[in-house]
Structure 1
Amino acid sequence: MKAVIQRFVAMLLLVIPGLMATYGFLAMKDAWFAQFEVSGGSGSILWWKLLLGIVLFGLGVAFIGGWIFFRDRKRNYVAPRFRQKRKKRQTPE
């Protein structure tokens, strides 16, 4: 039972940032295209909605990208320049 709950929490840790990024993208799209609306549109960009969308999209994508990067680093799937630096062992003199 404990493993099922752990997997559910792990899934939520990826789904929530994904939903944030999705909502951020949709908010940016809505803010941008609101200026082109013919019927009763304000004729200007909704800056608060655009900034909220940028922040949510950036945070969601950064979290998921960081999670994938550190998972791949742990499994040694990354390029040599991204691999963790190993400490040199001290040799007794």
Structure 2
Amino acid sequence: MVRLVAVLIIFIPGVIAAIGIKLMRDTLFDDFHPIFFHTGIQFTVGLILFLAGLAFLGGFIIHRDRKNQKVKKSKLKENR
């Protein structure tokens, strides 16, 4: 059950990032969706969705690796 929840946590931001890529691609190929008022808005929303999904996935991986002690601490944190 726990693994299923973890897969869903990873799957949903991946889908959001994929939707962002699709919106940006559609803007470049002049496939305009009527929900957006301008192609620039469509591209910006796609970029935001892509970056948000990518940031969540990256943060999840970093958090998991730090929890499992697979990432070394940086020298900047040791000097403080």
TM over 0.5: yes
1:33 positional shift: 2.1
C-alpha distance in 2 between matches for 1:20 and 1:79: 30
Pick from 58, 62, 73: which aligns with 2:66? 73
Residue 9 (1) aligns with residue 2 (2): no
Give the alignment of 1:1-93 within 5 angstroms: 4=1, 6-34=2-30, 46-81=39-74
Alpha-carbon separation, structure 2, partners of 1:19 and 1:59: 11
Structure 1: tracts of 5 or more residues without a match: 36-44, 86-93
How high is the sequence identity, in percent, across the aligned residues?
Answer: 37
Q: Find the aligned partners of 2:61 and 2:47 in 1 and give their Cα distance.
A: 21
Q: Secondary structure of the equivalent of 1:76?
A: coil
Shift of 1:46: 0.9
Following superposition, the deviation at residue 79 of structure 1 comes to: 3.6
Superposed CA RMSD in Å reads 2.2
Whichever structure has more helix as a proportion of its residues is 2
After superposition, the C-alpha distances for 1:46-65 in whole angstroms (9 at most, x for unaligned) are: 11210110111011000000
**TM-score (normalizing by structure 1):** 0.66
Any unmatched runs of 5+ in structure 2? 32-37
Q: Secondary structure at the match of 1:80?
A: coil
Structure number with greater Rg is: 1
